[in-house]
Amino acid sequence: MATRTMQAARCPTDELSLTNCAVVSEKDLQSGQHVTVRTTPTHKFVFTVKGHHSVLPGTIAFSLPQRKWAGLSIGQEIEVSNYNFDKSRQCIGAMTIEIDFLQKKSTDSSPYDSDKMAAEFIQHFNNQSFSVGQQLVFSFCDKLFGLLIKDIEAMDSSILKGEPASGKKQKIEVGLLVGNSQVIFEKSESSSLTLVGKAKTKEARQTIINPDWNFEKMGIGGLDKEFSDIFRRAFASRVFPPDIVEQMGCKHVKGILLFGPPGCGKTLMARQIGKMLNAREPKIVNGPEILNKYVGESEANIRKLFADAEEEQKRLGANSGLHIIIFDELDAICKQRGTGASSTGVHDTVVNQLLSKIDGVEQLNNILVIGMTNRPDLIDEALMRPGRFEVKMEIGLPDEKGRVQILNIHTAKMREFKLLASDVDVKELAAETKNYSGAELEGLVRAAQSTAMNRHIKATSTVEVDMERAEKLQVTRTDFMASLNNDIKPAFGTNQEDYSSYIMNGIIKWGDPVTRVLEDGELLVQQTKNSDRTPLVSVLLEGPPHSGKTALAAKISEDSQFPFIKICSPDKMIGHSEISKCQAIKKIFDDAYKSQLSCVVVDDIERLLDYVPIGPRFSNLVLQALLVLLKKTPPHGRKLLIIGTTSRKDVLQEMEMLDAFSTTIHVQNISSGDHLVEALELLGSFTDAERTTIAQHVKGKRVWIGIKKLLMLIEMSLQMDQEYRVSKFLSLLKDEGADRGFFE
């Protein structure tokens, strides 16, 4: 609009005078526009206008504080022209306001929360213009306050672009109030008003909504990437001024689903999101708490959670603050509909209620629902679509850099009070703790502390602390290593005892065949690590019974140094039904997919399949499950090596299972006298003389014996008296090969 002359008038209602807007006829100007009012050639003031039917065209109505500020009299002719804000330079970053009771007779001594006051102020006057020296009236807790704008600082424009704050502070005369401006209240000198809360002091609130915020200060380590992803998807739109968001037609993200293994910081992260944002204290709800045995109560509990947000949206519309609702253990209440066995169908109605609240017909735009679960597969699909829990973020096991951060957080206090010995190297601990979750790393620090404290307790009949030595208490590297080896084991890691029992007697390299198997295994390990084209590598070690296949598979997996190594063995599944066996095998593979590099040894496949030659019989259910899992490519960014072992290659061939493996390696028995002598030498059980005698008997002969069987025969012979040992061993060896026509 071009400059036009209008007449100043009195504000028609008290209610309109509390809006801080100049009131105009809807025929002249639209609500929300900003105008410059020029009273004299040198004096001009910026107002935001509001349309109202009771104002005559050609007039512009002002409240008493506005007329005082601008020096206006009723009926005065003024020049009114459009005013456009430069969003990059004129958004208010921080505004200092002097506050006092409007009427001296209405003073009281009760404290007023300046934080709530600031939130209410921003909601009430969002997207309005403010100038230094401006006076206005503000209603809070049914009391009227007189305000005077003392000082305005511009928002750092780099924050709006999603860049780190530059730290430059720029004073401006006129600014636009936006959702994440900071409002600071200062009571006037003569006032008896009591203010409490943080909004009495200036703090850099803008930096809290900074993608490069340092989360280590908040006690979260190893999740920097996840945090910046969540910020980009869920909060970037909330940082921008609402009108820009509106012009883009952009809708805010209303739901985030955090999933991943237990102990990786999902709950911690959700709690800190509330602190990071300039929002109310989040409501934290445990899934099972919602459920109630009485009909309709569970749904009413869901409705109560959203009641505040609904009420505020009705009252303040687009200026409503953000309400965060956090659901812990979301799978407890949002299971797939139609799957519950109970006749009441209470789960289904709870899911329906939640769906309609988050994104129903009357949708709320001022909520952010954060759900957490370690079983995303159980959650109803309708909750996962865009508009509901559309940002799905896996909070996985921390990598080495993340583990350094987490250990630094948990040892910070000890370091501060000089209780951490200088030989403790956090980087070394991070390298040693592959596959540890955040909670397990915290447990490790606690275990090391208790080990250190234990050294300072006198071992007498009563438990006493040796005070002299306790003064010098320090947690050393030895304490951490002891806890690492004995106390805290990762749930998704390598169970050392698991495969050490398979390599009890070490690997006896009696000849080229053994060396070849280990070399081929090493090649496959390297392929899994380095190749991006083959994230899944599977190999089958097949050979006669007792040839040491399981030990070789365990050795290859141990040498791989992969963070996750699990042995899927039939001895763990004795007495399991077919279905529970399938579930146990699937769980091992699911756990493997959570780690960056994993190795799964599927031992004794024909035993897992319940195969017996009489009949012939086997479990088709387990066979199908294994066939699927052997071919299933791990998720993006994860790599998996599968090593299978079997003594019945022919059976697997018939079951069409051989094709599921990428490659097959044959493990053979000791088949020549020379190899047998080599094995005896490596085992070192017989004396040199005894070995020479055995060598003379077996030289040039064909033998056929597995390394495990050979060990058994040697140990049996060693129980005899010295002079009979060799003859006993040779006769046992002969018996072993007799039925096959060997040892001739």
Catalytic residue set: 549-550, 603-604, 631, 708
The answer to whether the beta carbons of residues 503 and 558 sit under 8 Å apart is yes
Look at residue 151 and give its three-state secondary structure. Answer: strand
* C-alpha to C-alpha distance for 124 and 139, rounded to whole angstroms: 10
- The DSSP result for 96-124, as a single string, is EEEEEESSGGG---SEEEHHHHHHHHHHH
- Spatial separation of the C-alpha atoms in residues 594 and 394, rounded to whole Å: 10
The label of the residue with tokens 């290659």 reads 649
**Looking up tokens 């540890």, which residue turns up?**
436
What's the CA angle centered on 120, arms 191 and 192, to 5 degrees?
A: 10
Q: Which residue has the tokens 């096959």?
A: 740
- DSSP single-letter state for residue 634: P
Q: Which DSSP state fits 161? A: T
Helix, strand or coil, per DSSP, at residue 553:
helix
CB 541 within 8 A of CB 645: yes
Upper half-sphere CA count for residue 70 (Cβ side, 13 Å): 26
CA pair distance 665, 367, nearest whole angstrom: 58
Tokens of 521: 């295994």
Q: Which residues, 6 or more positions from 66, have their beta carbon under 8 angstroms from its beta carbon?
A: 11, 20, 22, 47, 72, 135, 136
φ/ψ (deg, to 5) at 314? -65, -40
Smallest CA-to-CA distance from 558 within 622, 618, 494, 614 is with 494
Q: Quick check: 447 and 487 in contact, CB under 8 A?
A: yes
Name which of 133, 132, 176 is nearest 157 in CA terms.
176
Chain centroid offset of residue 195 CA: 38
- Alpha helices, H only, 435-511: 438-454, 467-470, 477-486, 496-500
- Alpha-carbon span 4 to 37, nearest angstrom: 10
Distances (CA, A) of 694 to 156, 275, 301, 376, 670: 88, 78, 82, 63, 15
- Separation between Cα atoms, residue 655 and residue 661, nearest integer Å: 13
What whole-number distance in Å separates Cα of residue 416 and Cα of residue 450?
18
Two tokens at 53?
A: 């039917």
- Dihedrals phi, psi of 296, to nearest 5 degrees: 85, -15
For the record, the structure tokens of 417 come out as: 């009070």
* Cβ 209 vs Cβ 93: under 8 Å: no
DSSP 661: S
Helical spans, DSSP H, in 317-399: 346-359
Query: SS3 of 226, please?
Result: helix
